[in-house]
Amino acid sequence: MIKPDVLELPVGVRLVYLAEGGANIIYRFVTDLACVPLKLHGKVLRLRKETTSAIPYRDTSRSFDRVIRPLFEPDELVDQELVRLPAGLVLRCNEHLRVAEREHQRPKKRHGVYLSATEPFGLLITDMTTFGDPTVATLAELKPKWLLQSPSAPVNARRCRTCALREMKNEEARLAGLAGQESFCPLDLVSDKFEHVLRATRFIQGCKDPMLLARVLYHNRTLLKLQSHQRAMKEVGLRGPPAHSREMSLAMTLRDCTMFIKMPHDGSIPDIRLGDLDLKTTTGGKAQYWLELEKRLVYEGWYSATHSSQIDIDSECALGRISPTS
């Protein structure tokens, strides 16, 4: 079958900076121009930065289509589509980034890193923001992380993988004179007990109505499907496929995605999608980092909650709330 031509952005398209992470910058389209085709409505544009670990967008798009897309229904994913960029667009965006730095309008930690001038493509992704009219809908987002315990955890574990890691990092922050973080236990998100799901919503970014959000998340099909895929890709931790394998890459990707929940104020059906599903790279020491992290969680007592810093703390972990004798 002949692959259809890649969509091309119009030469006159105008972009406005929306947000950025370590590897990409997100732009929205100025939609009051006649040159913005219908194809771009409901989309934002993701552009790649020039970083040492950067993966060309053609490869990113191919992996998404072949590996991620078959795992979920279309309405469960923040979709992405390869789009060819017009000449000069990236150069203009980079100049705007430099101006933003001079005017203190770009996050300081992002200064000095700009868009790749050799990347010919961008990615059109589903717009899950409420930028158009925040009075119409509320956007909540969360990292489901590990919805199942790590197979490396000891049988008497008192912390799930996510909570064990958070408590370890909080202790490191405390020793550095910094504040720690609080968050939900992922096991609560997929609990059969509604009150556990409700407990988790207290920590979810953008949540305005914990009871309503809990109803949306309780027995949510997308969360349960994600958990099912994590269960299928269970050979992680200290054993499993080779650290640099595609299997390990997918397993860790499924444990570090983001769920976006756009809830209309008129009571209509929420739009719930998973994003941040680019396949994790295992290069550059990342695979070894995962392995060393798991060793620390096991051997320093973070899973079993026997580390000295865990003795007198109140943990959000669902495993920590279960009586050892039950």
**Span 246-263, pLDDT tens digits:** 788 899 899 999 999 999
Contact 189, 226 (CB under 8 A): no
Residue 14 has pLDDT above 60, yes or no: yes
User: Phi/psi at 267 (nearest 5 deg)?
Assistant: 85, 5
pLDDT, one tens digit per residue, over 138-187 is 999 999 999 999 999 999 999 999 999 999 999 999 999 999 999 999 99
- Residues counted in the chain: 326
Q: Which are the contacts of 83, defined by CB distance < 8 A and separation ≥ 6?
A: 6, 7, 8, 9, 45, 121, 122, 123, 124
Domain range list for the chain: 7-126, 137-321
pLDDT given at position 2:
38
pLDDT, one tens digit per residue, over 78-137 is 999 999 999 999 999 999 999 999 999 999 999 999 999 999 999 999 999 987 677 889
Across the range 225-234, mean pLDDT stands at 94
Q: What is the secondary structure of 178-210 as a DSSP string?
A: --------HHHHT-SSHHHHHHHHTT-BT-S-H
CATH H superfamily, domain 7-126: Inositol-pentakisphosphate 2-kinase, N-lobe (3.30.200.110)
pLDDT given at position 16:
93
Q: How confident is the model at residue 234 (pLDDT cuts 50, 70, 90)?
A: confident
305 alpha carbon, distance to own chain's centre? 27
pLDDT, one tens digit per residue, over 252-296 is 899 999 999 999 988 899 999 999 999 887 766 777 888 889 999
Q: At 237, which amino acid appears?
A: G
pLDDT given at position 244:
60
Prediction pTM value: 0.90
Contact 160, 154 (CB under 8 A): no
Contact 201, 214 (CB under 8 A): yes
pLDDT given at position 240:
53
SS3 readout for 120-131: CEEEEEECCCCC
pLDDT given at position 228:
97
How many beta carbons lie within 10 A of that of residue 223, not counting itself?
A: 22
- C-alpha torsion sign, points 48, 51, 57, 60: negative
Q: CA 104, 107, 113: angle at the middle one, nearest 5?
A: 105
Question: What number of H helices and E strands is found in the chain?
Answer: 9, 9
Q: Which are the contacts of 198, defined by CB distance < 8 A and separation ≥ 6?
A: 210, 211, 214
Q: How confident is the model at residue 4 (pLDDT cuts 50, 70, 90)?
A: low
Task: List the 80-84 sheet strands across, edge first.
Answer: 7-8, 80-84, 121-126, 43-48, 24-29, 15-20
Q: What is the secondary structure of 214-271 as a DSSP string?
A: HHHHTT-HHHHHHHHHHHHT---TTSSS-TTSHHHHHHHHTTS-EEEEEEETTS---E
Q: How confident is the model at residue 325 (pLDDT cuts 50, 70, 90)?
A: very low
Rounded to whole angstroms, how far apart are CA atoms 53 and 21?
14
Residue 35 has pLDDT above 80, yes or no: no
Across the range 232-238, mean pLDDT stands at 81
* Average pLDDT of every residue of the chain: 89
Q: At 208, which amino acid appears?
A: K
Query: Residue 125 forms beta bridges with which residues?
Result: 44, 80
Residue 322 has pLDDT above 90, yes or no: no
Residue 326 has pLDDT above 60, yes or no: no
pLDDT given at position 1:
35
Give me the residue label for tokens 């998973």. 274
pLDDT given at position 31:
63
